[in-house]
Amino acid sequence: GVGEELIRISKLTGGRVIYLGEWHSHPPNCSTSMSTRDEILLSQIADFQAAEGFPALMLIVGDSGVQVYLQEALDD
C-alpha cells in the first residue's frame, strides 16, 4: 500500500525524501474548508506521521485561495 511505498522511498533516499501530507482542490464555488472525509484523512495522516515525529499537513485549493491544515496525532 501507500505506507509501504513511502517507507521504501524514504529508505531508498537515505531519509532525504519524506512524506509531508496531501493536497487537493475543491470544485469551483466551494469552500476550502475541510469536509468530513478530509478530517478523517488528516487524522489518519497524523497517526502515520507521528511515528516520525512530524505533524500531518493538508492543503486544500479553491477559488478563494489555499487553506493550510496542520495536525498532530492525538494521544491514546
Rounded to two decimals, the pTM is 0.72
Residues in a beta bridge with 22: 58
What confidence score (pLDDT) does residue 76 get?
59
- pLDDT per position as a tens digit, 12-63: 999 888 777 788 899 999 999 999 999 998 998 898 888 888 888 999 999 9
Instruction: State the DSSP string of 15-41.
Output: TSS---EEEEEPPTT---SPPHHHHHH
